Amino acid sequence: MKSVAIIGTGLSGLSLAHHLPPLNITFFEKSWKPGGRISTRKHEQNKFDHGAHYLSIDHGVLGLTDFLEKKDAIKKVDALYTPNFSKNSKKEIKSILIGTQGIETIPMNIHRSLHYKTNFSTKITSIKREKNSYFLHSEDNQFGPFDMVFSCIPFEQAIPLFQEHIDLNNYPKPTFSSIWTVMLGFDKRLGTDLQYGYYLNEKISFFMNQNFKHEQFDQENWVFNMRSDWTDKHYQIESYVLEDFVANEVKKIFDSDARPIFKKSHRWKYANTKKSLRELIGKSFIESVDHKLYILGDWCEGPAMQDAWLAGKKLAKHIKEFSLKAY
């Protein structure tokens, strides 16, 4: 059975592993849990979905919703939403898909069902070829040999691992936008019946209440995404300054005297894909000339969760139809 390494346990890597035929797969993950940007931050009894927020009902990827429902990873909820708060857009009820126990339930349940060996807290620093096999290196260990290696991490992070083996100058560089995310817990309700929406003002692009997604908390929990252009200008802002700034902005917008009693922020460097690889060159992955090394991720297809799933599915189809037949 072919020995395969998958670097990264975000949704593209999990999708790839799910759609591939039975192989001897080993995951490598620099974090202590799977999921990447599909992440839920816990603080005492509170939860904040601070990366991906939800999955659209009409995401358009055949079979994905049914699959996630079978894994008990998602549930459908109705939320009061506005497409543009700053322009007083009409409020409406919209059905969305969220994680059953936070958005991280999606990658956690998929990863658990795959039953593949995973090296958590292991950052791969280099890939070396010996004869017809490849070895992965971290700061402390060597892993291998592997017949095939798949990178399912942001493009910028894949470059130093693969530039010795793939001429990446032949490929255009996908572009990304960065986003600061701020998590705030208030001592009482903010005074709005909205559960989520877009364009809170010229600085905050997205806001979502966490209480309706999880169990009811003693405090009012919200997640706010800063606009990407604002993030670019304030990329190095101190977290405590940003958190106080957003708390004050929100209180003014909702005319609220709620007091923030929990504040946390996280900067997502590769939050959204501006131009995907498919848009740039019509390809959904990058491969080596020996068809043993592959680079993919959500950036191959687009910025959403379903794009990550689709990227893994497309590459698995390619592998099954072409590459594995050669061995």
**Which domains are assigned to the chain?**
3-326 (3.50.50.60)
Q: Report whether pLDDT(217) > 90.
A: no
- Place 216 in a pLDDT band, splitting at 50, 70 and 90: low
Evaluate whether 155 touches 174 at the Cβ level (below 8 Å). yes
| pLDDT in the model for residue 323 | 53
High-pLDDT (> 70) share of the chain, %: 98
| pLDDT in the model for residue 327 | 45
Give 63-91 pLDDT, tens digit per residue: 999 999 999 999 999 999 999 999 999 99
- Place 306 in a pLDDT band, splitting at 50, 70 and 90: very high
Give 174-200 pLDDT, tens digit per residue: 989 999 999 999 999 999 999 999 999
- Place 218 in a pLDDT band, splitting at 50, 70 and 90: confident
